[in-house]
Amino acid sequence: MKQKKIQLFLTLALFCALFVSSCKGGKLPGADARQISPDPRERVAKNIEEGRGFRLSNFGKTKSGTFDFASSNELWRASLDVLDFMPLALANYSGGIIVTDWYSDGSSSDEAVKISIRFLSNQIRSDALSIKVFYKNCSMSNNCVVTDRSGDLANDLSRKILTQAAVYEKQNVGKNEPYVRSDPEKK
């Protein structure tokens, strides 16, 4: 048993020695102190510039893409405002889709409507949205028929959303300027 432990230790030591010696001719990366600044601020700036290292403020964040916060997107906000009377089944900002649940205004118990909005662009323009409107008609025996009737209602919704988004955009002009921090020592 003792002999097996010694053999395992020697094998691991040999493997580690071969691994370290294979790194750039036996030198570890960053081992030459003459090429590294002694000032930590310069080292941090260089690492950030090269995209190395990490920050605790970024802990847990993924780098899969960049998305604006949903409230800063005028089309998204306007869509939610226009559909605020309907219950939402799905609202996925990063996926760019809003789907309502089946909705009936109570006038007819056998009819319901469902709306889906896909965002094709963040710009406020007529081809930025794809709106589908589905109607569900159920007979007395609960046989339901779902049909896509996106014509006039989809055009009206699109017009209302784009109008409201243009209002939001006009209100936000100048509000999204980058924050410039003033230096307290210069005062």
Is position 124 within any domain?
yes
Q: Which domain holds residue 10?
A: 2-58
Query: Is the C-alpha dihedral spanning 49, 52, 55, 61 positive or negative?
Result: positive
pLDDT at position 95 is 85
> Residues of the chain whose pLDDT is less than 70?
19-33, 50-72, 174-187
pLDDT at position 118 is 93
pLDDT at position 97 is 92
Is position 187 within any domain?
no
Asked whether residue 36 falls in the same domain as residue 107, the answer is no
Asked whether residue 54 falls in the same domain as residue 82, the answer is no
Asked whether residue 51 falls in the same domain as residue 92, the answer is no
Q: What is the pTM of this model?
A: 0.55
pLDDT at position 88 is 92
pLDDT 10s digits, 74-104: 899 999 999 999 999 999 988 889 999 999 8
